[in-house]
Amino acid sequence: MLHAQIQTQSSYRWVIVAAGGLLGCVAIGAMFSLPVFLLPISRDTGWSVTGVSSAMTIGFVALALASMVWGTLSDRWGPRRVVLIGSVVLAAALALASRATSLIEFQLVFGLAVGGATAAIFAPMMACVTGWFDTQRSLAVSLVSAGMGMAPMTMSPLAAWLVSIYDWRTSLLIIAALAAALMIPVAFLVRRPPALEGANAAAFSDGEPQSAMSVGQAMRSPQFIILLLTTFFCCATHSGPIFHTVSYAITCGIPMIAAVSIYSVEGLAGMGGRVAFGLLGDRFGAKSILVTGLLLQAFGVLAYVFVSQLGAFYAVAALVGFIYAGVMPLYAVIARENFPLRMMGTVIGGTAMAGSLGMATGPLAGGLIYDAFDSYRWLYIGAWGIGIGAFLIASTFRPFPKAQPVPARA
């Protein structure tokens, strides 16, 4: 088959994986440099910590809303153009944010522009990678995700080192220059999957899943809706624990520096989880591994209720990080197995939007729960319940019947 020949004979596909990992690492790392700059910005400008932090909330919302837009544009224009635009806008937005003279200006530039530009990297690159791979697809997507997961271990320490030498404005401007220097050249390495190029497209579409389906039909399909709901509940499950576990550990009497190290353990475990779940997804099927992972994630976050010592926190953080980082790339794989490649940007953009909205729930919900009960216990119990919901929703997913393509509407 043309499909198999295109996918298996192309050695360039691993270049796409490397490009996606690097682009995601720099983009996400630049956005998540804000927590490092939080206190220096507040002290230098007099802006409140809450006000500066809200730029991150705006960024999450912008990331969610822009994901599907950029994904759809990547289907129409190709991923290279979208990723290139996103890289240029991201670097420019970081530079402009470093020059902001008012809080509202900083919130809009960093929140809307940086968050929106970051969305131009994630969904288009995930969609692009799924189209380059027929075999080893789960592993490839997981490696791109692993590259993105390197951001807290690379860009955040870089931001901390810079702000220890320079003021926050200069540091942010340096990160803007670094983003431009790395991302713009790498964006030119991104190519459409061979199956969508020129004469290959018509022949390839005959063997595609649901090749006659329109974008509108895809958006209304139970499969797409279940993917969105599962992604939302999955991210809502681990969002609160990710954001509040350090504070929870401090309330248990663990010193600040030691409590912060819990994040490092979680991040390192997540790197292994992405690769392990990718390999398992290729061997046993992405859906089976996703459903199993969601069940384990639910009980993983519940385990925080029973810990109070640093060693126990490390153990649970390693488990939770391994699982939640591992399951996230599998949504893109399931999307590729059930929808045509020509609309992958739109479909994966939709799941990225749902995931970003789910992530936005945790910080607020955790704060409200702690203020109401003076304890984080109910945060983790609630996260367990949401996680069980994600597991049950994912269990209802049924792939499209391969022998019965959906006819296109007139």
370 and 241 in one domain? yes
**Are both 243 and 182 inside the same structural domain?**
no
Is residue 135 within 8 Å of 278, Cβ to Cβ? no
Q: Are residues 152 and 294 in the same domain?
A: no
The verdict on 157 and 277 lying in the same domain is no
Low-confidence ranges of the chain (pLDDT < 50): 1-2, 6-8, 203-204, 403-406, 408, 410
In a domain, 203, yes or no: no
Q: Please tell me the predicted confidence (pLDDT) of residue 205.
A: 52
261 and 391 in a single domain? The answer is: yes
Q: How many domains does the chain have?
A: 2
Q: Does 2 map to a domain?
A: no
Model pLDDT, residue 402 = 66
49 lies in some domain: yes
Of 138, 164, 195, the position where a domain reaches its end is 195
Do 267 and 191 belong to one domain?
no
The confidence score (pLDDT) of residue 405 equals: 47
Note whether residue 236 is domain-resident.
yes
The domain spanning residue 377 has which CATH number?
1.20.1250.20
Same domain, yes or no, for 173 and 111?
yes
Q: How far apart are CA 391 and CA 195, in angstroms?
A: 34
Regarding whether 263 and 177 lie in a shared domain, the answer is: no
Specify the pLDDT at position 72. 87
Question: Is 269 inside a domain boundary?
Answer: yes
Claim to verify: residue 191 and residue 219 sit in the same structural domain: no
Same domain, 27 and 62: yes
- Domain range holding 372? 215-395
Question: Between the CA of residue 6 and those of 3, 22, 75, 203, 372, what are the distances in Å?
Answer: 5, 24, 19, 11, 57
Q: What's the confidence (pLDDT) of residue 307?
A: 94
Q: Are residues 228 and 98 in the same domain?
A: no
pLDDT of 339 reads 87
Token reading at 9? 């004979």
- Provide the pLDDT for residue 246: 78
Same domain, 182 and 232: no
User: What's the chain look like in SS3?
Assistant: CHHHHHHHHCCCHHHHHHHHHHHHHHHHHHHCCHHHHHHHHHHHHCCCHHHHHHHHHHHHHHHHHHHHHHHHHHHHHCHHHHHHHHHHHHHHHHHHHHCCCCHHHHHHHHHHHHHHHHHHHHHHHHHHHHHHCCCCHHHHHHHHHHHHHCHHHHHHHHHHHHHHHCCHHHHHHHHHHHHHHHHHHHHCCCCCCHHHCCCHHHHHHCCCCCCCCCHHHHHHCHHHHHHHHHHHHHHHHHHHHHHHHHHHHHHCCCCHHHHHHHHHHHHHHHHHHHHHHHHHHHHHCHHHHHHHHHHHHHHHHHHHHHCCCHHHHHHHHHHHHHHHHHHCCHHHHHHHHHCCHHHHHHHHHHHHHHHHHHHHHHHHHHHHHHHHHCCCHHHHHHHHHHHHHHHHHHHCCCCCCCCCCCCCCC
